[in-house]
Chains A and B, each alone.
Chain A
Amino acid sequence: MEQTKYLVVGSSHAALEALTAIRMHDPEGSLTMLTRDPHLPYSPTVLPYVVSGRSAPDNVFLRDEKFFAEQKISLKRGKALKALHPARNAAELADGSEIGYEKLLLATGASPAIPPIPGIEQVGYHVLRTLDDATQLNAAMKASKQAVVMGAGLVGMHAAENLVKAGAKVTIVEMARQLTDGYFDATAAALIEKAFTDNGATILTGSRVVKLAPSATGATLTLESGATLEADLLLVATGVRPNMDFLAGDGATVARDKGILVSESMQTSVPNVFAAGDCAQAKSFYSDARVMNAILPDAAEQGRIAGMAMAGDPGIKAYPGGIPVNTYHFFGRHAISVGSSKVPEGGEVVTRFDEASGRYLKVIFHEGRLTGIYGVNEFFDAGVMSQLILRRIDLAPLRERFLAEPMKTAREIMSRTWR
């Protein structure tokens, strides 16, 4: 059986940061990266831009072969993890071979969640999670006249915009009452919706697809209302589910909930096994509950902590808990959200909306501290705002200035506090 000191499963941000953290402390220990993907490491976040043609598929890789050679990392591509045997520190691959490890990181990410709608397996549809998905969608998009996107999360919205720009008639079907639910509030969502409808898209929020059937053009979708939609291109973007099927059987000792449960040092319930990124369920910043916070910056942070823990780096600091952060570009505008959209008890919400310019700002305070800030076309430094929340900086003395000029005021506080 092949033996490695560190085994990292996955090849996106959490996994890559773990590699860096491990090598920072242990330049020599044998290190293997395993990915089911046939390609070099890339980010799922860049895929909408591969779909649009803006990023060439061969120009999105985050590391090259040289990196792996220099860092003495064995990269195994196209090799999926099939099962985990934690009792004997071994990982079983899809091809039946096994790799023994001393420390294992599960950074396996997530896969599209396909809703159990009758007929869905009879129709052809696209998803968008891998580079191959993106190149296929890019090719299909060029011929599409009539596209339907199921799901109005950021993946679906990005793809829908690309389809609109490619000239297709696009309908977005979303179960929730608003677009980008969970990312942006109703006002922001309305601004996003208007940008889409102005550009010719049809938005059906609060709608549910109840039946799918093959048709001459592609697929016929039947909605709850009884209406039907024809699609020559169907994209299913109704969310993701963490990849953890390999935790059946022997691996079932690894505690799971919605994702793989991890401690503040990204350790699972089982010795020598760590998890980070979209497959991990880690502490929330706002409570002791463990939550899924599948965003890129958090994946990188968790990956780094996991790598440090695996290598025994004494500089490790406990994971402070994640806060949601999203940035979204649509039709030349941008929306940014930092922090919880929930208004805590006793919290205060201040909104400012200028209809003429489409500038929207929403700030949530609790006991003088920032807990969330949202903007459409109102730029502020999301990294600085995150720190204001994470450091629980008292904004009470600067409240009015902060509301008038959030970016400028936050920068001043930043410069004063953590320069």
Chain B
Amino acid sequence: MGAYNTIAFDAAKCDGCGDCMSACANTKVGADDALKEAPLGGTARSRIQIGGTAETGYELALCRQCGDPKCVTVCPAGALGKDLSNGVIGWDAAKCVDCLLCTVGCAYAGIALDEATGRVAKCDMCEGNPSCVKACPHDALKLVTTSRIYNEVGGWEDLFAPGLAGCQGCNTELLMRHTLRRVGPDTVLATPPGCVPGMGSVGFNGTTGTKVPVFHPLLTNTAPMLAGVKRHYKRIGREVTALAIAGDGGASDVGFQSLSGAAERNEQILFMVVDNEGYMNTGMQRSSCTPYGAWTSTTPVGQGAGGVHSQGKTQDAKNLPLIMVNHRCEYVATASTACMEDLYDKLDKAIEASRRGFAYLHVYSPCTTGWRFPTDQNMEVARKAVDTTFVMLWEYTRADGLHFTRPVDDPLPVTEYLKAMGRFRHLSDDQISHIQSKVVENLGFVKQLAHGAKA
């Protein structure tokens, strides 16, 4: 049994046009039958019902295909049941006795009386291709297929040890487990000093934390060491994926020279950077990826010994992935755990590209400890970073240039992101406007690159 696709409704995008209802009525009872019920508007027989008004907002009544469906438990005739292969709650017309008790069980008006037949009717997901979703001109209805990832990889072997020593709420475990699962057992992993080995990937007391060979290079030599290992395997004729999972400090600061060299030589490795914007494993010191204004233990806030007031980091962050684009690598992309489907697509492409040359994947990874936000907020913070365009999700290949994979039409103000965590709590208005203008500038800069790629 896997997870299932669902129809999601974004009330903010709905304008009440009713196309979804017409499409449903047409698909399920035929255009003629639907229109025969003209007094009921022709859409009364639709199994998706949009209510509300432009002033109050539009609202949805639709079967949720519940995991614990009450309609099924209260059906006295055994006429309703959840199909475990696709998650759809099916209705058996022959068994149904029209008692309407299912409508008592459902708190969502997901199964209701079709007055034209005197029987109940409910959404059956149109065999996985819902007409309502296709008909929606505003993207207010979407077939959410995130379960695809779980269904596909849920059964694959987890190549990390069951227990890891990460901070509570850290998303790096998610990243490590997903990535290694995807890359598979024919992998050699390099993890330089940072959170990834700190969490236990290199193991304790002589055992490794992974089920693949893992080694612990210096901060300065991760890329060339891994490149050497890869070359060795090539020489003996064995196909392996050479994977580095490094922090932003190890990649953008002291490890940068050797990273740049490996990229320039187009070594066949996949270099993943988990960017938590600082040296979080060793006590939250600043790195060149730490953003302007952020508190770290080396960019403190308050009155200093010399009488100079400090307000966090005074320099802007280095944009490492854009620098890697300038190496004209096989593949360069940015990703976020807020957008797992996007991350997965990029991981697939990066693995593939690493067979030909240097692939670089930069994952923005909020740090609950160092950024100071509640441990249950990691995904929310990651999502805010994307929605404010504080981070941008794009990919680059030599053939197609750079393009956005998840363009944000209407970015939220950057304050939405900044206020989600403690490391920006002290910011002055000037600092906030600096950050906002930098976000706009960065977006404009990447847009230019993307535009140039298209032309």
Residues of A within 8 A of B (CB): 13, 16-17, 20, 43-46, 49, 54-55, 59-62, 296-297, 300, 304, 325, 327, 329, 332, 334, 336, 338, 379, 381-384, 386-387, 407-412, 414-416, 418-419
State A334–B103 Cα separation when bound (angstroms): 13
B51 — nearest CB in chain A belongs to which residue?
A412
A-B contact pairs, 15 of them (CB 8 A): A45-B99, A45-B101, A60-B78, A300-B105, A304-B73, A329-B98, A336-B100, A379-B115, A381-B103, A381-B109, A382-B103, A384-B109, A387-B107, A412-B56, A419-B59
Pick the contact of A329: B78, B100, B104, B115 (CB < 8 A).
Answer: B100
Known: A329-B100, A381-B112, A411-B61. A418 touches B77 (CB 8 A): no
Q: Does B218 contact A (CB under 8 A)?
A: no
Q: Are A383 and B77 in contact (CB under 8 A)?
A: no
Known: A49-B77, A55-B77, A336-B100. A415 touches B107 (CB 8 A): no
Measured CB to CB, the closest approach of chain B to A318, in angstroms, equals: 18
Residues of A within 8 A of B112 (CB): 379, 381
Query: What 0/1 pattern do residues 171 to 204 of B give for CB contact below 8 A with A?
Result: 0000000000000000000000000000000000
Residues of B within 8 A of A59 (CB): 78, 95
Known: A60-B77, A296-B76, A384-B107. A411 touches B49 (CB 8 A): yes
Measured CB to CB, the closest approach of chain B to A360, in angstroms, equals: 15
Q: Are B95 and A55 in contact (CB under 8 A)?
A: yes
Q: Are A46 and B103 in contact (CB under 8 A)?
A: no
Q: Are A62 and B78 in contact (CB under 8 A)?
A: yes
Q: Does B3 contact A (CB under 8 A)?
A: no
Interface of B is mostly: mixed
Interface centre among B9, B57, B70, B97 (most CB of A within 10 A): B97
Query: What 0/1 pattern do residues 102 to 128 of B give for CB contact below 8 A with A?
Result: 011111110011010010000000000
Q: Are B107 and A418 in contact (CB under 8 A)?
A: yes
Q: Are A297 and B107 in contact (CB under 8 A)?
A: no
State A143–B76 Cα separation when bound (angstroms): 28
Q: Does B60 contact A (CB under 8 A)?
A: yes
State A307–B74 Cα separation when bound (angstroms): 16
Q: Does B206 contact A (CB under 8 A)?
A: no
Measured CB to CB, the closest approach of chain A to B145, in angstroms, equals: 20
State A336–B98 Cα separation when bound (angstroms): 13
Measured CB to CB, the closest approach of chain A to B78, in angstroms, equals: 5
Q: Are B52 and A49 in contact (CB under 8 A)?
A: no
State A381–B112 Cα separation when bound (angstroms): 7
State A336–B52 Cα separation when bound (angstroms): 24
Q: Are A412 and B59 in contact (CB under 8 A)?
A: yes
Pick the contact of B107: A54, A62, A414 (CB < 8 A).
Answer: A414
State A20–B68 Cα separation when bound (angstroms): 10
State A327–B52 Cα separation when bound (angstroms): 27
Measured CB to CB, the closest approach of chain B to A51, in angstroms, equals: 11
Measured CB to CB, the closest approach of chain B to A63, in angstroms, equals: 8
Known: A55-B95, A387-B107. A297 touches B78 (CB 8 A): no
Measured CB to CB, the closest approach of chain A to B370, in angstroms, equals: 33
Q: Are B97 and A297 in contact (CB under 8 A)?
A: no
Q: Are A327 and B56 in contact (CB under 8 A)?
A: no
Q: Are A414 and B109 in contact (CB under 8 A)?
A: yes
Residues of A within 8 A of B105 (CB): 297, 300, 383
Q: Are B104 and A325 in contact (CB under 8 A)?
A: yes
Q: Are A411 and B74 in contact (CB under 8 A)?
A: no
Q: Are B106 and A383 in contact (CB under 8 A)?
A: yes
State A242–B108 Cα separation when bound (angstroms): 32
Known: A55-B95, A325-B104. A411 touches B109 (CB 8 A): yes
State A146–B78 Cα separation when bound (angstroms): 33
Residues of A within 8 A of B73 (CB): 13, 16-17, 20, 300, 304
Residues of B within 8 A of A43 (CB): 76-77
Residues of B within 8 A of A49 (CB): 77, 97, 99
State A17–B107 Cα separation when bound (angstroms): 18
B100 — nearest CB in chain A belongs to which residue?
A327
Q: Are A46 and B70 in contact (CB under 8 A)?
A: no
Known: A13-B73, A46-B76. A386 touches B107 (CB 8 A): yes
B57 — nearest CB in chain A belongs to which residue?
A416
Residues of A within 8 A of B49 (CB): 411
